[in-house]
Structure formats: C-alpha cells, structure tokens
C-alpha cells in the first residue's frame, strides 16, 4: 500500500509539473535574408514610373523575421518582412507548404514594412497576368525564391521554444511623422514590446511606428529595407546579446516621415532609422517584463464590398500606372479579392490588430481606442497584414478627399467603416473586455 501511494504521488507530481510547463508562454525566433540575387532582374515596388526596370544593385539587404509563441499546445507566428506588401497568394502558397506542421490562416500574421526600396508586390502576384510594366510583371521565380525563404524561416522558428517574459510600453513622439493628406489625424504613438528569456536576456523586440518608408523615390533603383531596415539594425546593435528586432507599420495610409535634415534618399533612411531606433532603445530600457501568460488569437474571413474604381482614379493612380477605363475593370476583377481574412493576436498586455491594406490614421486610431478598454492596455495596428487589398479610408475621406489615397481605394465609400468594424469585432474577444 505504501508503494502504491508513492507511485500515485509521483504521477501527480509529474502531471502537475507537465501542466505547469505547458501553460507557460514560450517563444522562439529566427531570421532569414530574403534579398534575391540581382541577376534575377526583379523590379522595386511602389512607383509606376519605374516601368518594371530591374533593380541596379543592393544597397542594404532585406530580411524576414519570425517570432513564434506557444502556450497550451497552441502556437502563433508573427512574421515581419522588409517588403512593400503582399498579394493574397503568398500566405496561401506558404501555408500549402507547411500546413502539415500545424500552421493555418488563423495562427500566422505576415507584416510587411511597406519599404519602397524593396520588391514589387505585383511581381509576386500569381493572378497578375496583365504584363503591364507600370503595375509590375509577375515573376514566378521571384515568388518561388521568397516562398522557399519563408518556409525555411517558419521551420527554423518552430522549434527550441523557451519560457519568456513580456512587457510593452508606448511613447508619444512629436515631429517625426505627419499627415500627408493634411488631415488633422497623426498617429504619434510608438509601441515597443520586449520579449525576454526567464534569465532576463532579451530574445526579441517588436517596434510599431506609423509612417511610410518613402524617402526612396521612383528614380532610386537600389534594393533597400528603407528606414525600417536601419531602425532594426541600429536597435539590434545597441541592445546586443543576439537580440532579434522586428518592425511593423501601423495605419500608415496617410502618414509620412519627417526629417528636417539635408541628405540624399539613402542618407535620409539611415538618419531617420537611427533616430527611431534611439527613441525605441530608451523605451526598451525602461520596460519591466513579467510572466504574463495572456496569449490568444482570433481570425475571421469577411466578404468585401463590390469592387469599383474611385471617380478620380484615372487622374491619379490610373495616370501613374498607365491605365484606361477598360484595363481598370480587368485589374479589379483579376487582382482585387472578393473576401479577406482579418486576424489579431494578444501577447501579454499587447494586442496587434491586423489590417489587410493601407488604412488611414483616423480609422486606425478609432480601432485602437475601441480595443484599449480591456485588460490589454496597448493596442497596435499591424498594417498591410497578410495581404494588400487597397487603401482603406473613412467615408468622408473617400467621398470628399482628393489625391492618390482616395483614388487607390477599390471597394467604395464604405470600405473603411467595414474593415475597422470587422477588425474590432475580431480582436475584441481576446482583449479581456468584460
């Protein structure tokens, strides 16, 4: 009988400690260089005037980085990429390769930085059969190159999990971004998330700051991660200890960087990135990480409104991309999806609410204020999440605003309200709101 009690006690001890271990929030990180060889003759994205001319050389290398979190046998991958944006097929194609490893649309978020010195997203779009140099020509070998890199990244990050502590802080910064539409809303909040191992060694740092990476212009033909690349490199150097720094943009649809210093495009991206890194470093140093076990995620697929070209499209976007009334209709049907996934993830006190395109700040700030009422007191917009559907504006901006952003919104005046409401609905269950 005594031996029986000893066996039962040992089993209880084992089960208790196994459960405690499983309930810990654990994480792993990995990075991969996604700079294609210049011999591949790919174009850079963001400007129709480049006319699909190939990049001339590599100024600085572009990366993809993954932070994978795991708790109670559930896992989630946050993947940041030094890219302009992604068509829907990239995530879909990636998941076909790795779904057997437990990955699906629900538990992964891809967050491009929106660098205008990086790959043209139309060159990655397998539905792009237009052959238009202004829009960008599909390159199957470029897509395959990127997918091979991302598959290797996820596999590398999906192992060797270690228990972690997490902390998030935010800071209001004046004078480093502006509303380029001259609307009053400017998102001046920087959000820094620190992920430490249990011994206090930093494992990863996430930085959210809202501004277009557009110091590099249409005539600049060198591959670059733009200022977010310098931000990540500088912050990694300041922190040291092999930390992985990851950057993700916010509701940057109408937000531009400010740098009142002389210099060419490539000098400016270095100076601006290092300025942002310096501020992020000071925030990082003050963050107290803790064993916050809050970890959850949510995902929904929604139907999008009817696809329609904005009345002013031919004057701005249409002109830049060399389109006419007939080709616009073909593009909308070929390259603009009829539905989209909306995802959100919670890690500790932070919610990252994914937005599948370029949302203007007025809508992004509405989402943040709506979700900050729960126990997760920091909310960041993950701009351009998973795929780019178009610019996403408020009804007033769409109907009465002028300029590029209004015209490159492809789902009518109600798109902004729909997406912002659906993002809130998706994220609300994981905020801890009573």
Q: Does any domain span residue 316?
A: yes
Which has the minimum average pLDDT: 125-139, 220-234, 285-299, 317-331? 317-331
Which has the minimum average pLDDT: 13-17, 79-83, 263-267? 13-17
Q: Does any domain span residue 180?
A: no
Q: Does any domain span residue 396?
A: yes
> Across residues 402-412, what is the average pLDDT?
85
Kindly state the percentage of the chain with pLDDT values over 70. Answer: 91
Q: Which domain holds residue 406?
A: 295-357+392-430
242: left (phi over 0), alpha (psi -120 to 50) or beta: left
Q: Is the pLDDT of residue 4 over 60?
A: no
Radius of gyration of the chain (CA): 22
> Across residues 354-376, what is the average pLDDT?
93
Confidence at residue 407, expressed as pLDDT on a 0 to 100 scale: 80
How many domains does the chain divide into?
1
Kindly state the percentage of the chain with pLDDT values over 90. Answer: 80
pLDDT tens digits, 272-283: 999 999 999 999
Q: Does any domain span residue 345?
A: yes
Query: What CA–CA distance (Å, rounded) separates 79 from 162?
Result: 18
More confident site: 5 or 360:
360
Q: Does any domain span residue 155?
A: no
Q: Is the pLDDT of residue 30 over 70?
A: yes
pLDDT band at 6 (very low <50, low <70, confident <90, very high): very low
pLDDT tens digits, 148-199: 999 999 999 999 999 999 999 999 999 999 999 999 999 999 999 999 999 9
Q: Does any domain span residue 140?
A: no
Q: Rounded to the nearest 10 degrees, how much is the dihedral formed by the CA atoms of 168, 174, 180, 185?
A: 70
pLDDT tens digits, 204-252: 999 999 999 999 999 999 999 999 999 999 999 999 999 999 999 999 9
Average pLDDT, the chain: 92
Q: Is the pLDDT of residue 309 over 80?
A: yes
Pairing of strands 350-354, 358-359: unpaired
**Full-model pTM:** 0.93
Q: Does any domain span residue 342?
A: yes
Q: Where are the alpha helices (DSSP H) in 287-414?
A: 317-320, 325-335, 361-371, 395-400, 404-407
pLDDT tens digits, 106-156: 999 999 999 999 999 999 999 998 888 888 899 999 999 999 999 999 999
The phi, psi pair for 182, rounded to 5°, reads 70, 20
Confidence at residue 323, expressed as pLDDT on a 0 to 100 scale: 63
Q: Does any domain span residue 346?
A: yes
């Amino acid at each position: 009988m005594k031996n029986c009690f000893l066996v039962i006690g040992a089993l209880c001890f084992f089960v208790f400690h196994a459960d405690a271990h499983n309930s810990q929030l654990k994480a792993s990180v990995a990075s991969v260089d996604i700079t294609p060889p210049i011999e591949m003759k790919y174009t850079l994205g963001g400007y129709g005037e480049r006319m699909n001319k190939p990049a001339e050389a590599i100024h600085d290398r572009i990366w993809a980085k993954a932070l994978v979190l795991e708790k109670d046998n559930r896992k989630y991958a946050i993947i940041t990429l030094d890219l302009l944006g992604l068509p829907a097929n990239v995530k879909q194609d990636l998941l076909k390769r790795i779904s057997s490893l437990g990955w699906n649309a629900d538990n992964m978020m891809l967050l491009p930085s929106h660098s205008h010195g990086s790959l043209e997203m139309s060159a990655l779009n397998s539905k792009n059969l237009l052959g238009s140099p202004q829009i960008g020509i599909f390159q199957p070998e470029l897509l395959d190159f990127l997918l091979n890199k991302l598959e290797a990244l996820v596999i590398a990050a999906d192992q060797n999990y270690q228990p972690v502590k997490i902390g998030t802080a935010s800071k209001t910064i004046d004078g480093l971004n502006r509303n380029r539409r001259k609307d009053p809303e400017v998102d001046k909040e920087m959000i820094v998330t620190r992920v430490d191992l249990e011994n206090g060694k930093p494992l990863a740092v996430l930085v959210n700051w809202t501004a277009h990476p557009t110091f590099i212009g249409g005539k600049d033909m060198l591959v670059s991660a733009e200022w977010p690349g310098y931000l990540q490199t500088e912050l990694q150097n300041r922190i040291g200890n092999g930390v992985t720094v990851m950057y993700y943009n916010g509701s940057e649809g109408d937000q531009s960087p400010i740098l009142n210093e002389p210099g060419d495009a490539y000098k400016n991206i270095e100076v601006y990135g290092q300025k942002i890194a310096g501020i992020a470093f000071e925030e990082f140093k003050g963050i107290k990480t803790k064993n916050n076990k809050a970890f959850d995620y949510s995902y929904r697929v929604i139907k999008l409104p009817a696809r329609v070209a904005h009345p002013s499209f031919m004057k701005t976007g249409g002109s830049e991309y060399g389109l006419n009334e007939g080709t616009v209709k073909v593009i909308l049907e070929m390259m603009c999806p009829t539905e989209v996934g909306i995802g959100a993830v919670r890690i500790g006190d932070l919610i990252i609410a994914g937005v599948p395109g370029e949302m203007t700040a007025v809508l992004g700030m509405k989402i943040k204020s709506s979700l900050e009422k729960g126990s997760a007191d920091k909310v960041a917009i993950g701009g351009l999440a998973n795929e780019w559907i178009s610019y996403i504006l408020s009804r007033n901006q769409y109907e009465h605003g002028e300029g590029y952003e209004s015209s490159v919104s492809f789902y009518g005046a109600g798109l902004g309200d729909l997406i912002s409401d659906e993002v809130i609905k998706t994220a609300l269950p994981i905020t801890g709101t009573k």
